[in-house]
Amino acid sequence: MESKILLVLLLLMIFVNDVFAAEKIVPTNRHGVKPVVIIGDEEIENPGRLMAVIPVLSMEWSVSLNVRYPSYGGTGYTIFHMANEGVRDTSYGARIPIISRPYLTLPVTFHISSAVNGHWNHYQNFQGAAPNGTNHIEVHQRYVSNGHYRYFIMIDGVEVYSVLNTDARQFYNVHVYVGWPDPAPCFISNLEITNFL
């Protein structure tokens, strides 16, 4: 009889422990919207071309990708670029966002720019991984309240920049480039875009 009671108590403890463990897991909140996978798990060399066209990009979106530089050589600079109607000028929406490597210095520096608060080229620079190291980069624009959005950047799971965007806009015929116009000498995997439309 005692062994049955102990067994029941043990099973109950395991069940309760599993319930508490499940409560600690916080799923990614995408409001039920699934990301579009542009490049999957398999790492590819930066192709330097148009990968997709998004007919309407919501004011709320996210981009995530893994980037690995095998060395510090090469002269290209562009890793990822989304642009309103494929423009390559200084108009609002020419970078929504662009992720590039502007300097051929050690360590790798990521230049991340987007249309924020009326500035077509609102940018920040961040240090990347050592050669052959992989960085996971996320750029988000998420709704806060009263027509304002929070634009933020995460590198390797750590939020490195955040600002309130009071001039978020919807863009049309958005061109998604990987490595265009001048591909950086890197490898890319797990490129996903979530359009909360």
On the CB side of 45, how many CA atoms lie within 13 Å of its CA? 5
pLDDT category of residue 96 using cuts at 50, 70 and 90: very high
- Residue 25 is predicted with a pLDDT of 52
Burial of 42 (0-12, 13-18, 19+ CB in 10 A): exposed
> How does the average pLDDT of the chain come out, rounded?
85
Of 116, 97, 96, the closest CA to residue 164 belongs to: 116
Domains in the chain with CATH codes: 33-196 (2.60.120.200)
On the question of pLDDT at 188 being above 90, the answer is: yes
- Residue 79 is predicted with a pLDDT of 92
On the CB side of 25, how many CA atoms lie within 13 Å of its CA? 6
Contact between residue 124 and residue 161 where contact means Cβ atoms under 8 Å apart: yes
pTM: 0.81
Greater confidence, 189 or 8?
Answer: 189
State how far the Cα of 26 lies from the Cα of 20, in Å rounded to an integer: 12
On the CB side of 115, how many CA atoms lie within 13 Å of its CA? 24
Per-residue pLDDT reduced to its tens digit, 38-93 = 999 888 888 889 999 999 999 999 999 999 988 766 677 889 999 987 566 789 99
Query: What's the longest Cα–Cα distance across the chain?
Result: 80
Greater confidence, 157 or 18?
Answer: 157
On the question of pLDDT at 26 being above 50, the answer is: no
State how far the Cα of 98 lies from the Cα of 183, in Å rounded to an integer: 12
Of 15-19, 102-106, 141-145, the least confident: 15-19
